[in-house]
Amino acid sequence: MAGEKLYQEFTPQIVERWEAAVQADPLAVWNENRIGQLLPFVREVQPRIGVNQSLFGLSIISLEGRPEDESEVVMYGLEPLIAAGVLDEVEAAQVVAWYERTDPSSNSGSVRAFGKEFDLGGTKYRLITDAYGGHRDLNLQVV
């Protein structure tokens, strides 16, 4: 499958480990993100997340450079979000188009071409795109 090596898969076993971590320590963190805040999203969506992770949230997609099959790689990362109803097909196409038109070497800083806020399990989230440090990311943030 396109891009499999660029993603980590969430499984029910990983979700159970995260739940246990939060039970042991409500302030437990993973990659500078509070696990308890991410748990409703992770439970519901069981996303694929980027092997590379950003400092700006949980990176659903994080690409360094431009993979040959970029659109397929991006869609592979978006599939769980579409299946869970977090993104619709039009929004997914907007994310893919952003990756296609954004230069991998650009640093957009705070410029974000795609953004969406939504609620899952009583937690409000935001998906945003950004290009920084040679990476182009779709990040999940807790609002």
CB 116 within 8 A of CB 92: no
What pLDDT does residue 108 have?
59
Q: Mutual orientation of helices 89-101 and 70-83 as an angle, nearest 10°? A: 150
Partners of 62 in the beta sheet?
A: 137
Q: State which amino acid sits at residue 70.
A: E
- Residue 26 backbone dihedrals phi, psi, to 5 degrees: -60, -20
Instruction: Produce one character per residue of 4-36: b if its CB has 16 or more CB atoms within 10 Å, e if not.
Output: eebbeebeeeeeeebeebbeeeeeeeeeebebb
Cα separation, 55 vs 33, whole angstroms: 9
pTM, to two decimals:
0.89
Digit-by-digit pLDDT tens for the chain (143 residues) are 567 789 999 999 999 999 999 999 999 999 889 999 999 999 999 999 999 998 788 999 999 988 989 999 999 999 999 999 999 999 999 999 999 888 887 665 544 579 999 999 899 999 999 888 788 999 999 99
Cα separation, 134 vs 5, whole angstroms: 19
CB 76 within 8 A of CB 48: yes
What pLDDT does residue 34 have?
94
- Residue 84 backbone dihedrals phi, psi, to 5 degrees: -85, -5
Tokens standing for 83?
């299946």
